[in-house]
Chain A
Amino acid sequence: MAQECGFQYEPVAEIGGGAYGTVYKARHVESGQFVALKSVRVQTDQDGLPISTVREVALLKRLEQFDHPNVVKLMDVCATFRTDQETKVTLVFEHVDQDLKTYLEKAPAPGLPPSRICDLMRQLLCGLAFLHSNRVVHRDLKPENILVTSRGQVKLADFGLARIYSCHMALTPVVVTLWYRPPEVLLQSTYATPVDIWSTGCIFAEMFRRKPLFCGDSEVDQLGKIFNVIGLPPEEEWPADVTLLRHNFSPISPRPITDYVPEINDLGAELLLEMLTFDPLRRISALNALEHPYFQEDEVTNG
């Protein structure tokens, strides 16, 4: 049983040498179906399989049972026990050919039509609301791990993986983009579900702009770029117990978001600002975002 993964799937191509290790596209030998194989090597010490692996994989399996349309399907989990010291855990996901990054790059000249963006956003938020209601925080949401099927269905991928990997991989310098990180993460304050909403806001803007909203090259630079748009938050919103202090940044007032995302309509801009709210407690939740008039307006115009 434990060996099955190796025999059931034959590798087709390497599809990602991402920060979290190599990902393979593979074919299920019997059905011919394509899958994405992601493996983690786990050190099995004298206490057996590490707690974090047991928990994270159990969580992914639990989410799987709900079969949510906007969450990538985890088809199988295999544990290959190579030696007494090392275990390889392979997660078998459904394979979706393109991610949102490619999808945006491939869109013809003026970019995606507004109704398409609205639909993608609604699906994205549906998936997110599902994860959040199950107490799962993605933590690393970016166009590369939002998949879009050929029929335009959005599927969130790699959620929870960030944690599985970070626990076990003593990796060569991990390059994780800062561009979608919310202020509380950059400031190393506490964070929970609102983290993903910030990233979703950045992605929302990017769908119109077809290039990222905030491209910082360090934590401080990233924060500076954020404050250029949303303005420097008032002292009382600045988190306590963080090393970076508010007066390290020059006072700056917010600029209209339409300067950065000119194509967005009024309701869209309103929603975007609610997602790009500095204070995580005041940032809109995925559930509430779905109730935003921006989505109802689209129903009227399209319906």
Chain B
Amino acid sequence: MAKTGFCDSMPLLDLHKKTTEERRAPLRAWSNASGPKERWHPQEGEEQPRGVQQKTEPERRWVRRLPVSTEDGIIMGFHENESSSYSDGYKEDEAVLLYLHGLQGLHSLQTLVPGLLRHEMELAMEKLGLIYDRSYAWDVFSDMMRSQLRFTFPNADLPRPFTDTTRAILVDWLIQVHGVFHFSEETLYLSVHLLNRSLRQIKVNTANLQLLGVVCLFLAAKKEECLLPEVSELCFLMENSYSKRQLLRMERRVLTELKFEVSHSSPLHFLLLSASIAHCSTKVVWMARYLLELSLLEGQCVVFLAAQLAGAALCLARRILQEPPTPERETAWCIASSIHMGSEATLLKIMHIQAGAAARAQSRDTCATFLKFSTGETMHVSNHLALQSAPSLLSLTATHT
């Protein structure tokens, strides 16, 4: 029940069909055929009272009170001038990160980081298998923070004729294909990252859009996976609308145009690191992963940095689940929050997008992520009732700023 039968969704994937009519019609058909309603089973005991917004107040206080300040912008100093508007907040983030970008030879930097945070970071990185040697933990993290600035998009505009909707349909399909191959989550994030760049850098027509998407997934798999799908399998998934030769040619084209730069800082790494430092419950982590994956479908999210998307997903997940605070957990959250993932204004902006996406998720045509996170394996997070009212949860707290 976890995976949408692949053949069910095939009509949707016919992006290469000649006329727009042909392309649109099956889309409706598919959403009717495997609509999420029948798959949506609210879990017993997950009922959340709706009016719990006031509870989020203490959390806001945690965000900025830790009195640590180093020369490194990663650690949050005192940002008390937070009354600024959204755009100011974003600029401030950029300034901090750009400053960080300018630093070289950061090896002495780790001495400036509070020992407790450093220790937690080392443990978290080790747990995620990101380091061989603990003494490099902080450097690896600094590099992650800097690398995420490497490919940023000034705006969310897509070259014509593509729209956020076409992009979302393609990403949704890639999520399904990704599920079919049981690839790692990193591969999915990398695929969409490559797609975002390719869409803006390579001229493709609508007929080749699906091919481009598959090639991005294929390249991401080459970067991240041990077992690769056969090219013929990929062609089969596209109903053999393209030949193997066409696929391999597209691969060369994408690699050449992207100049082999197929690495990125995955928002998932930031999420898992923060969650691990914050000692978040498994359910919070699944919820945050769900919200983060939903942002892959949101065209407007491409302008945000990986750490910001992850930070927002984690904050929102905590607000939605409203787990009773324990001193231990709050302290851990406090330590995790001292890592500068983004200004409050930026995080809030992203949380709004994610909350909106989560509220609409089950009624959309592009519901692969919703289905994926409705399984027992993922603790049924996408079925959580509070998600439907997630946007209002935020708008109330937003008025306090």
Contact = CB atoms under 8 A, between A and B. Distances in A.
Interface of A: 1-2, 44, 46-49, 51, 54-55, 57-59, 61-62, 65-69, 76-79, 81, 84, 87, 126, 129-130, 132-135, 192-193, 285, 287-288, 290
A133 B136 contact: yes
Given A126-B107, A132-B136, 11 more contacts: A54-B255, A58-B261, A61-B263, A62-B261, A67-B104, A84-B248, A135-B131, A193-B132, A285-B133, A285-B136, A290-B107
- Bin chain B's interface residue count: 35 or more
Contacts of A67: 104
A132 B257 CA distance: 29
A49 B252 contact: yes
Interface stretch (B6-14, B142-150, B278-286, B351-359): B142-150
B260 A46 contact: no
Contacts of A57: 260
Contacts of A133: 107, 136, 139-140, 143
Contacts, number: 98
Interface in B73-131: 104-105, 107, 131
A285 B131 CA distance: 14
Contacts of A134: 140, 143
B136 A287 contact: yes
B141 to A, nearest CB: 10
A290 B143 CA distance: 19
Contacts of B104: 66-69
Interface stretch (B222-230, B308-316, B325-333, B390-398): B222-230
B147 A62 contact: yes
A221 B133 CA distance: 31
B255 A79 contact: yes
A94 to B, nearest CB: 17
- Among B147, B218, B255, the most chain A Cβ lie within 10 Å of the Cβ of B255
Contacts of B133: 132, 192-193, 285
Contact of A65 (B150, B251, B256): B150
Interface of B: 104-105, 107, 131-133, 135-136, 139-140, 143, 146-147, 150, 218-219, 222-223, 228, 230-231, 244-245, 247-248, 251-252, 255-257, 259-263
Contact of A48 (B107, B131, B248, B259): B248
Contacts of B230: 47
Contacts of A130: 105
Contacts of A55: 222-223
A55 B218 CA distance: 13
A54 B262 contact: yes
Nearest to A87: B252
Contacts of A61: 259-261, 263
B231 A135 contact: no
A81 B262 contact: no
Contacts of B107: 126, 129, 133, 287, 290
A135 B140 contact: yes
Given A79-B255, A192-B132, A66 B263 contact: no
A55 B255 CA distance: 12
B101 to A, nearest CB: 9
Contacts of A132: 133, 136
A224 to B, nearest CB: 30
B143 A51 contact: no
B218 to A, nearest CB: 8
Nearest to A69: B104
Given A1-B257, A192-B132, A54 B139 contact: no
A133 B264 CA distance: 16
A134 B165 CA distance: 37
6 contacts: A47-B231, A48-B252, A57-B260, A61-B263, A79-B260, A287-B135
Contacts of A87: 252
B228 A51 contact: yes
Contacts of A48: 218, 231, 247-248, 251-252
Contacts of A51: 222-223, 228
Contact of B135 (A44, A49, A66, A288): A288
A67 to B, nearest CB: 8
Nearest to B225: A51
Contacts of B245: 84
Contacts of B262: 54, 58
